[in-house]
Amino acid sequence: LSMLLAMAQIRRQLTPVEQLKEGTQRIARQEFDYRVAVESDDEFGELGASVNSMADQLGRQFGMLSTKSEIDRAILSLLNTEKIVETILTRFSALFHCDITSLTLINDEESHQAFILDHGVLRTRHDKEIDSIIRRAVETGTQLHFEENEIRALAPNTIEFGGVRSIMASPLTVQNKVLAVLAFYATKRGQFDPQELRLLGELTSQAAIAIFNSQLFERTKHHVVELEKANKAKDDFLAVVSHELRTPLNIILGYMGVLRDKLLGELNAEQSGAVETVDKHAKDLLELINTILQTTQLEAGAVAIEYNQIELAYVLDNLKTKYALPLDKNLSLSWQYPRNLPGALTDQRQLERILQNIIDNAIKFTPEGEVAVSAAFEPDASVVRFTISDTGIGIAKESLGAIFERFRQLDNTGTREFGGLGLGLFIAKSLARLMGVAIHVESEPGRGSTFTVSLPIANHGKYSAPSSSAVNRAMEL
């Protein structure tokens, strides 16, 4: 009998020990939902309750860490707002053991978008008005917790989820602005306690940053698309308008030529002056239109470089004839280049356009003084350097990079002194890049500017395309 009593006593002591051992092993395997069933009123019962409480606390902590990790991955890998919201709702719903979870994106201008995870099923909707609980979270910017009686008094007609007896809500705020409101609905009374409110507070800032980043990315992407559309519309408009304007302008210039040649009768001095004025301004306008067309073609990648063997002295001779007439300002234009410049395999038309745009720019910004055009061959570098220097207004050092931008003059005010669209140097730089030609500029305000165009010469004039090493060497020099 003593042995039987001893064995019963030992079994009564060992059973809770085995249960506690199994409980701790399951906790070690992260089975935090397991509960130790020790119903005794002694120390074993208290120890079992402590183990169960520890499992609950560890489950919450591991759930919070897992949720934080999941949101971190969403921030790093997802830039889609809906995907991030779905991740947040799924993780938070599992963490707080609620029946329904919602996240409402707050929009100041349009309807508010609500994402609702109802017993594992995700759905979305758009509402112009939000219910009073969400609105109160937006207005107060603080966490809210309501039980059944408060819910009925606060929003008897706006709670669409039947049987809800406990609600917890928290705004997601970035830079003092509420981006969204997280709300948790439970059919069990007292589902959310102060500890869960604190846990929610530790997670909301991370969720808010994830949504903020995704919305910022989507807005930026939308703006990029809109800018691309606007830029394309601008290019199409300029191309169409330029073509449409060029035709009547050519007709006007034709009739001006007929009048100037007196094919329709003699003109007096006043009439001849008027014809010359109209002809000059029509040519200026045609030049502007051609410049716009060149720019749109360059931006569309429609300019092809046609390599042919040319004589560079002939190129300069041809350019010189375009400036044979006296300039309408107190300015001299000088040319200095040897006749024995080597031949080059390049695009003569585009090379002339580069040099002409730079010469025109020098003349425009030199009210008086001199513009000098020169050229020289440097055998060691296998390059011909064209130099255009002037005694004009000059350019500040910090503005040198900006002069090659589109529609750019250093004075971009509506009353700027010098006319033009500010496209000449942009076209010159763009063509030079296509041809492997380098453009270098040195300038000082009030003392003029010097532009140097370096054209690589491959094999000293033999019929071969410029090598990449020669082009790179010229660009470096």
Dig out the tokens for 355 from the structure.
């040099």
Backbone angles phi, psi at 343, to 5 degrees: -75, 160
Report d(CA 176, CA 184) in Å as an integer: 23
CB-side neighbour CA atoms (13 Å) of 270: 0
Q: Is 169 helix (H, G, I), strand (E, B) or coil?
A: strand
Q: In the chain, what percentage of residues exceed pLDDT 90?
A: 15
Sign of CA dihedral 77, 81, 82, 88: positive
Sign of CA dihedral 247, 248, 253, 254: positive
Scanning 396-440, the segments in alpha helix (DSSP H) are 424-435
**pLDDT per residue as tens digits for the range 307-360:** 899 999 999 999 998 886 656 678 889 999 999 999 899 999 999 999 999 998
Report d(CA 337, CA 215) in Å as an integer: 61
Report d(CA 316, CA 322) in Å as an integer: 10
Backbone angles phi, psi at 359, to 5 degrees: -65, -45
Report d(CA 372, CA 359) in Å as an integer: 9
**pLDDT per residue as tens digits for the range 210-244:** 888 888 888 888 888 888 887 777 777 766 766 67
Planar angle of CA 400, 406, 409, nearest 5 degrees:
55
CB 45 within 8 A of CB 180: no
Distance from the Cα of residue 97 to its chain's centroid: 41
Report d(CA 336, CA 171) in Å as an integer: 75
Sign of CA dihedral 70, 73, 75, 79: negative
pLDDT score for 197? 82
pLDDT score for 309? 92
Residue 173 is classified by DSSP as E
Nearest Cα to Cα of residue 423 among 280, 287, 234, 245: 287
Residue 279 has pLDDT above 60, yes or no: yes
The distance between the two most distant Cα atoms of the chain, rounded to a whole number of Å, is 150
Backbone angles phi, psi at 410, to 5 degrees: -60, -30
